[in-house]
Structure 1
Amino acid sequence: MTTQEDHVPHPVVVAVDGPSGSGKSSVCRRVAARLGLAYLDTGAMYRAATWWCLENGIDLDATDTVTAAVERMPLEVGVDPEGPTFTVGGRDVGEAIRTAAISSVVSRVATNLDARADLGERQRRIIAVECSAEGWSGGRGVVVEGRDITTVIAPDADVRLLLTASEEARLARRARELHGDADAASVEATRSHVVGRDAQDSTVVEFMTAADGVVTVDSSDLDLEQTVEAVLTVVARVTSA
């Protein structure tokens, strides 16, 4: 794939927030690949933490126990945008963390403030490594996406974006992803994974509206490649300023 590496200063951190179904993961992976940067999906880290707690028989409502479990979770994150990986204790959990069972309860870990603090520190360390010669990117930088990246994890990122879309568009995308169709039944079956999860996560972090200095990209009427191009345009404009 042709990259645009020569047009990006080094290192560069691109921080992207947004609600469920806005296309963050797909868009950010492609943007990272095009720019020769690492890619970090912080939402998957919360999914891995949820999987770890359930695997160890921990009640997700026992906040202190969850925090202690998350703090000792042996998580390793691979940041190659062409094949990001999540390994816990040597076990590849990339598929296991994407199940409906994890999606339905991940907000119970994501709204645990102490668990968020631990995972947030891990995310900052990964960003720092990718801005150094030791990183997978060789110090070129990273595209990192999630819920609180532009405001909490990397408020000083070179590029800060909110990737959003209408509720209708987000529900349709997630329905096609989970059920292969966006008919009325599929959309309704998907509602809790999109609207419900956003409502829960919104109790601890704001990701529906852009903070000061954050550029909004609305993908409601854009396909995947058009959204990628829109984000790349913002990155080029901001990093060349």
Structure 2
Amino acid sequence: MTDLSVAEAPVSEGLVIAIDGPAGSGKSSVAKRVASRLGYGYLDTGAAYRALAWHVLERGADTSDASAVLDATGDFDFAISTNPEDTWVRVGSVDVATAIREPRVSDAVSGVARVPAIRESVTNLFRTIIAGAAPQGIVVEGRDITTIVAPDASVRLLLTAAPEVRAARRSAELTGVEAAVVADALHRRDASDSGVVDFLTAAPGVEVVDSTDLGIEQTVDAVLDIVSRARGERTRGLTP
């Protein structure tokens, strides 16, 4: 992995929309559709952690071993698309977009995210991608975007939903996996990951969008309403 820890990323000229939320909240689907509707770029930050977890597992190592995770970064050739209409994630020449969603990777990704040096390097990578985004802006989703990666984003949102709704949504995505099993996995991952970053509570200045009773298009519309308001405030702020 390229070490970006000493690089200060320049500020992106476009509108940055930061969306955090737990698994099953719909943040990936919503963020991608919002980006498409606005003609913005789209960055799935969780894919980077998942790709590294996949890479560690492919090397036959365990992500609970911080040394093994750090060793794996030496040949971690990572690339990701920011086009919401053509998403892909690559490690070397391999497109791992599907592989990183496998249960074995989901179970292992928390170990990667817990390594401070990894979080620092990946955060700088994200900031560089944001800075190089198309002038019109980018939608960035993950778990610490509003607080760590892009705390100065023009729009900062926490997308959430009731636990049982999140479990049902994730179960629908995973063929042959019972809802109860998915619910247990989500609970365990929430508990594990919340020890690294608080993605269940909105930080000051972060707006909450609860999608429990909303369909995906309704949620997208709710986010776009907030973006529209932010655009108006920004325009007024630039008017002499």
Q: Please, what TM-score do these two structures have when normalized by structure 2?
A: 0.88
Between 190-199 and 78-87, report the one with greater CA deviation. 190-199
Partner of 1:3: none
Query: Is 1:191 the equivalent of 2:183?
Result: yes
Task: For residue 138 of structure 2, give the secondary structure of its aligned residue in structure 1.
Answer: strand
Structure 1 residue 72, shift from structure 2 partner: 4.3
Partner of 1:109: 112
Structure 1 residue 88, shift from structure 2 partner: 0.8
Cα contact 1:32–1:81 (8 A) shared by 2 = yes
Structure 1 residue 120, shift from structure 2 partner: 1.0
Q: Could you report, residue by residue, the CA deviation over 1:43-78 in whole angstroms, capped at 9, with x for unpaired residues? A: 111110101111122221221331242364110111
Partner of 2:238: none
Task: For residue 195 of structure 2, give the secondary structure of its aligned residue in structure 1.
Answer: coil
Aligned residues: 221
Which residue identity is paired with 1:58? Answer: A
Partner of 1:76: 79
Structure 1 residue 23, shift from structure 2 partner: 0.2
Unaligned residue ranges in structure 1 (runs of 5+): 1-9, 131-136
Structure 1 residue 140, shift from structure 2 partner: 1.5
Partner of 1:215: 207
Percent identity over paired residues:
49
Q: Pairwise mapping of residues 77-156 of structure 1 onto structure 2 (< 5 A)?
A: 77-130=80-133, 137=134, 139-156=135-152
* Structure-2 change in CA distance of 1:71 and 1:216 (3 Å): farther
Cα contact 1:71–1:118 (8 A) shared by 2 = no
Which residue identity is paired with 1:198? Answer: D
Partner of 1:161: 157
Structure 1 residue 13, shift from structure 2 partner: 0.3
Which residue identity is paired with 1:231? Answer: V
* Structure-2 change in CA distance of 1:105 and 1:192 (3 Å): farther
Unaligned residue ranges in structure 2 (runs of 5+): 1-12, 234-240
Query: Is 1:32 the equivalent of 2:24?
Result: no
Cα contact 1:159–1:235 (8 A) shared by 2 = yes
Q: Could you report, residue by residue, the CA deviation over 1:90-111 in whole angstroms, capped at 9, with x for unpaired residues? A: 2111111111111121111122
Structure 1 residue 38, shift from structure 2 partner: 0.5
Task: For residue 19 of structure 1, give the secondary structure of its aligned residue in structure 2.
Answer: coil
| Distance of 1:15 and 1:71 partners within structure 2 | 29
Cα contact 1:15–1:143 (8 A) shared by 2 = yes
| Distance of 2:158 and 2:74 partners within structure 1 | 29
Between 51-60 and 147-156, report the one with greater CA deviation. 51-60
Task: For residue 140 of structure 2, give the secondary structure of its aligned residue in structure 1.
Answer: strand
